[in-house]
């Protein structure tokens, strides 16, 4: 047989008799060249096995791929014919032992933090009133039950979808990361919640896998994580937009109390109504003051003109008595002057009446009676003067001369 033929025969024997293997050992001689593939050995006190993990499978190593780490590796035996060696082609790695897990956790945490995956500046606020919420969790666990019960109590009829996954053990991390990817691809979800109950570091390890952490950090929908208890802190929670210490607390953070909000809105509406009434009352008082001032000024002007007219007529009468001449001419002039002054006074009275009517028409209450409405934002009570003061989805208070209403802006055109 040629060496190549023998190598091929050995490979066939490996595939037939071994298939996938789980090998436990300590990583040594680790090398990751420019190609991105990882070359290393798995050793114990008596033997050493060459191993390789191709670049595309490295995300499935999490924080376990490091020199001196005791790991459990899954893979297939393969013959490397050019050197006449056999090796384990690894497709999955996980650390072994609590101490090893903690070391892997700290090293992966430091590396991802350096990349900025946990930066507070990247955190997005949770939606105030999410219409559709997706929950990634085990369908049989107490965590999802606690979340659903609390959510139903706070907002009956809330739209919550469950994406069932395994939350621990082999393959759990891939299912969780895949669920996040699917939900983002489908779209339509305002919030994604990841939750499970408490457990050991090993039990929670799926939420410390790099694939899950990166999927959470890359999610287009805001994320809320509630993994384990208050003493647990997974890397998924560090990467999420928000964290809750229990599944119940997660439901309280995601779903607002509908009854409490309704009471708050009633109180806000009452305050808005009182404010609008006070605004209209003050506007009416100001209009009345302006009307009185103008009327007083016009009356004073009219009185002054009338006094001047009487003085002029008296002087004309004196002249008539003194001269005794042109009495008829003087009478005629007096009559003409009287008629002219009367016309002038009538004009002044009409102007006063028109001005009074105009001032009354400018009164806020009069404007409302003509079919207009006073619109204020429900959030801060400020008057809306144009479309730039509004945004879609915002609630506004509308007041007419008789009655009021609360409305939600659907579209600004």
pLDDT tens by residue, 242-277: 999 999 999 999 998 776 666 656 677 777 877 877
Please report the pLDDT score of residue 260 as a whole number: 65
CB atoms within 10 A of CB 281: 12
Q: How far apart are CA 217 and CA 223, in angstroms?
A: 9
- The residue ranking higher by pLDDT, 249 or 338, is 249
Domain pair 3-96 / 122-256, same fold: no
Res. 341: pLDDT tops 90: no
CA distance 143 to 266: 34
pLDDT category of residue 330 using cuts at 50, 70 and 90: low
Task: Please say whether the beta carbons of 146 and 247 come within 8 A.
Answer: yes
Which fold does the domain 3-96 belong to in CATH? OB fold (Dihydrolipoamide Acetyltransferase, E2P) (2.40.50)
pLDDT top residue among 341 and 196: 196
Locate the domains of the chain by residue range. 3-96, 122-256, 260-370
With a CB cutoff of 8 Å and minimum separation 6, the contacts of 354 are: none
Task: Map tokens 């009434």 to a residue.
Answer: 277
Residue 71 phi, psi dihedral angles, 5° rounding: -135, 165
Q: State the DSSP string of 237-304.
A: HHHSSEE-SSHHHHHHHHS--HHHHHHHHHHHHHHHHHHHHHHHHHHHHHHHHHHHHHHHHHHHHHHH
The pLDDT value given to residue 386: 83
When mean pLDDT is compared across 72-76, 235-239, 359-363, the lowest value belongs to 359-363
- How many other CB atoms are there within 10 angstroms of residue 165's CB atom? 22
The predicted structure's pLDDT at residue 185 = 96
Q: Are 317 and 335 in contact (CB under 8 A)?
A: no
**pLDDT reported for residue 196:** 94
Residue 99 has pLDDT above 70, yes or no: no
Taking phi over 0 as left and psi of -120 to 50 as alpha, with beta for the rest, 391 belongs to beta
- For 150-168, the pLDDT digits (tens) are 999 999 888 999 999 999 8
Question: What pLDDT is recorded for position 217?
Answer: 96
The pLDDT score that the predictor gives to residue 327 is 58
In this structure, are residues 50 and 82 in contact, taking their beta carbons and an 8 Å threshold? no
* Tens of pLDDT, residues 26-43: 999 999 999 999 999 999
pLDDT at res. 243: 95
pLDDT at 326 over 60: no
Cβ neighbour number for residue 170 with a 10 Å cutoff: 13
Residue, of 390 and 97, whose pLDDT is higher: 390
Q: Is the dihedral of CA 139, 145, 147, 150 positive or negative?
A: positive
CA 219 to centroid of chain Cα atoms: 15
Residue 220 has pLDDT above 90, yes or no: yes
In the 8-state DSSP scheme, what is residue 218? T
Classify burial at 187, counting beta carbons within 10 Å of its beta carbon; exposed 0-12, middle 13-18, buried 19 or more.
exposed
For position 263, what pLDDT does the model report?
Answer: 62
Over residues 276-288, the mean pLDDT reads 79
Nearest to 144 by CA among 246, 242, 230, 234: 246
- Selected residue with higher pLDDT from 290 and 151: 151
Is the confidence at residue 315, as pLDDT, over 90? no
The superfamily (CATH) of domain 122-256 is Succinyl-CoA synthetase domains (3.40.50.261)
Q: What is the dihedral of CA 223, 171, 183, 133, to 10 degrees?
A: -50
The CA-CA-CA angle for residues 113, 138, 224, to 5°, reads 40
Q: What is the mean pLDDT of the chain?
A: 85
Greater confidence (62 vs 348) lies with 348
């Amino acid at each position: 047989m040629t060496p190549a033929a023998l190598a091929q025969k050995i490979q066939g024997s490996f595939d037939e008799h071994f298939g996938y293997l789980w090998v436990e050992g300590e990583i040594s001689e680790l090398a990751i060249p420019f190609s991105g593939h990882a070359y290393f050995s798995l050793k114990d006190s008596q033997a050493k096995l060459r191993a390789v993990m191709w670049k595309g499978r490295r995300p499935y190593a999490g924080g376990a791929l490091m020199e001196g780490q005791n790991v459990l590796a899954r893979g297939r035996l393969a013959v490397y014919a050019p050197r006449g060696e056999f090796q384990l082609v690894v497709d999955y790695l996980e650390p072994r032992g609590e101490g090893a897990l903690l070391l892997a956790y700290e090293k992966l945490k430091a590396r991802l933090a350096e990349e900025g995956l946990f930066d507070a500046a990247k955190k997005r606020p949770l939606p105030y009133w999410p219409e559709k919420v997706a929950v990634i969790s085990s369908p049989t666990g107490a965590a999802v039950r606690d979340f659903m019960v609390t959510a139903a109590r706070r907002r009956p009829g809330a739209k919550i979808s469950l994406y069932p996954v395994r939350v621990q053990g082999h393959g759990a991390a891939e299912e969780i990361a895949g669920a996040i990817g699917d939900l983002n691809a489908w779209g339509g979800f305002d919030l994604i919640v990841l939750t499970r109950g408490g457990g050991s570091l090993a039990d929670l390890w799926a939420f410390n896998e790099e694939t899950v952490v990166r999927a959470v950090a890359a999610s287009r929908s805001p994320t809320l994580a509630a993994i384990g208890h208050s003493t647990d802190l997974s890397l998924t929670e560090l990467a999420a937009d928000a964290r809750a210490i229990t599944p119940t607390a997660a439901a309280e953070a995601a779903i607002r109390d509908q009854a409490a909000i309704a009471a708050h809105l009633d109180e806000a509406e009452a305050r808005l109504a009182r404010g609008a009434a006070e605004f209209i009352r003050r506007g009416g008082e100001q209009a009345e003051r302006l009307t009185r001032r103008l009327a007083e000024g016009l009356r004073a002007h009219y009185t002054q003109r009338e006094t001047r007219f009487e003085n002029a007529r008296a002087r004309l009468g004196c002249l008539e008595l003194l001269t005794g001449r042109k009495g008829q001419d003087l009478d005629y002039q007096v009559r003409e002057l009287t008629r002219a002054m009367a016309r002038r006074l009538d004009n002044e009275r009409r102007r006063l009446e028109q001005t009074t009517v105009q001032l009354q028409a400018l009164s806020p209450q009069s404007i409302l009676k003509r079919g207009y409405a006073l619109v204020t934002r429900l959030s801060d009570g400020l008057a809306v003067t144009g479309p730039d003061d509004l945004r879609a989805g915002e609630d506004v208070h509308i007041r007419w001369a008789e009655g009021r209403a609360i409305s939600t802006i659907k579209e600004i055109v």
